[in-house]
A = this chain, B = another copy of it.
């Protein structure tokens, strides 16, 4: 079992010093064209792969970024990861993937791991850390970009979906369609995005001169059953409810089923709007009106911002906010109320 070939082997074989090999590999200018060709031929022939460990040790750069997500199996984050990986690969960076499984202590642990790995930067998605812990960590870590969370009064960069604007737009759409008793199925009380969506919902109502009605807002699990239960409850307590704005598409599907179970037609009696535009949204009956956010772009932009900040770009590019797009389908059609055909997916 032979030793792995290193730069000295290449140098010997090519009859040059290892510095010259290094220059050839790194496209340095101080080397003659013919030497470079000869060296690279030997590199190729021996199948030499320079160790990024050794290189990183001396350059203090690893060309590696950390990606921290609560759960890569969640489509929301796997889309972000895909976008991040695309952008990272394009820039010549590798990605170290860490799941926090929604556990703050695990989050601290993976951040320490990434620090030990000497990643050049970190994309931190939906951090569950308390503001103080997060601030404390960030001070010691390499450049961090926050996704889906902003940290107030700091020089920290973040990339977000504009949940408030999205919810406001959706609520506005429902108002424009003549709905007045619009319920909000709010998702988990501790969710940042849920809070922002609640804000957008309330703002749209107040702008329309409709007084806030606490009975119409209900927290729920962010899954189908959560939506079903919350919607059933609301339909029985407040039979005047004529629309549901939902925390996400699964909750919305639950609301659809609750309407069916309660004998209320969608969209004739009750309109339903989801959030996220997951694949399912276009396939249920009736197809869901929902807010689509481009998670892949979000991930890619996060990496690009990270690389810019790492490169020391001027403060011009501090944060990025992506606008979600309202996808109008049959569960909450536009005012003229013509059912649109299902958008093929």
Contact = CB atoms under 8 A, between A and B. Distances in A.
A68 to B, nearest CB: 11
A126 to B, nearest CB: 16
16 contacts: A49-B116, A52-B116, A52-B117, A52-B118, A72-B72, A72-B78, A72-B82, A73-B75, A73-B78, A81-B97, A89-B99, A94-B98, A95-B96, A224-B345, A225-B344, A279-B280
Nearest to A112: B49
Contacts of A280: 279-280, 283
Contacts of A283: 224, 253, 280, 283-284
Interface in A53-80: 53-54, 56-57, 62, 64, 67, 71-75, 78-79
Interface size class of A (residues with CB under 8 A): 35 or more
Contacts of A53: 53, 56-57, 62, 117-118
A186 to B, nearest CB: 21
Given A57-B51, A57-B57, A116-B52, A98 B85 contact: yes
B62 A73 contact: no
Given A49-B112, A52-B117, A280-B283, A99 B86 contact: yes
Contacts of A116: 49-52
Contacts of A99: 82, 85-86, 89
Contact of A57 (B54, B72, B117): B54
A153 to B, nearest CB: 22
A339 interface: no
Interface of A: 47, 49-54, 56-57, 62, 64, 67, 71-75, 78-79, 81-82, 85-86, 89, 94-99, 112-113, 115-118, 140, 223-225, 253, 279-280, 283-285, 296, 344-345
Given A52-B117, A97-B95, A82 B86 contact: no
Contact of A96 (B71, B94, B296): B94
Nearest to A77: B78
Contacts of A296: 73
A118 B51 contact: yes
B96 A96 contact: yes
A98 B95 CA distance: 7
B73 A79 contact: yes
Contacts of A98: 85, 89, 94-95
A248 to B, nearest CB: 13
Nearest to A48: B116
A280 to B, nearest CB: 5
A112 B285 CA distance: 47
A71 B85 CA distance: 10
B118 A67 contact: no
A302 to B, nearest CB: 15
